[in-house]
A = this chain, B = another copy of it.
Amino acid sequence: MTDAPRSREQRRADTLALLTTPAIDVWMSTSSIDEDGTAAPYLVPLSLAWLENRVVIAVEERSRTARNLINSGRARLALGPTRDVVIIDAELERALPVQQAPAEIVEGYAGQADWDPRGDDGYLYLVLRPIRIQAWREADEIKGRTLMRDGRWL
């Protein structure tokens, strides 16, 4: 892209527009520690909802993503194509079995994602609090890429 670098305000607006897009997916990276003590990365695409400044995903309780997040509390998420990215470092705030989740999460997730985990057994909503958000397109947008730090929009 040959446009001028976007302002922080424009990147924040673009980021929020992306996060609230219907049926948007996120690349969700988590990690675990193997029996031999090695750090093991994991990465899958998942459907996201953006509810009350939180990222909400729905995953099987026994999935590796759920286990990694519950064990480590940490994820790093990417949205968008590789040359127009939003990267979010987040921490796990709540893990809610679908049957016990409040209506705003259940309905909010079903309203944005293109599926609804209420039809399946053994699913959790994982509510992630963003700690840092970065957005950039090409090299000229590396400067100014941080939009949120320590959980606060800049």
Which residues of chain B are near A41, meaning CB under 8 Å?
29-31, 41-42, 68, 72, 74-76
Number of copies: 2
Tell me whether A87 is interfacial, beta carbon within 8 Å.
Answer: yes
Does A2 interact with chain B (Cβ within 8 Å)? no
Are the C-beta atoms of A76 and B43 separated by less than 8 Å? yes
The A91-109 residues at the B interface (CB cut-off 8 A) are none
* Main DSSP-derived SS at the A contact region: strand
When distances are taken between beta carbons in the complex, the residues of chain B under 8 Å from A154 are: none
Q: How far, in whole Å, are A6 and B32 apart by their CA atoms in the complex?
A: 32
A78 touches B38 (CB 8 A): no
Q: Which residues of B contact A110 (CB under 8 A)?
A: none
Q: How far is the CB of A135 from chain B (nearest CB, A)?
A: 12
Bound complex: CA of A146 vs CA of B27, how far in Å? 19
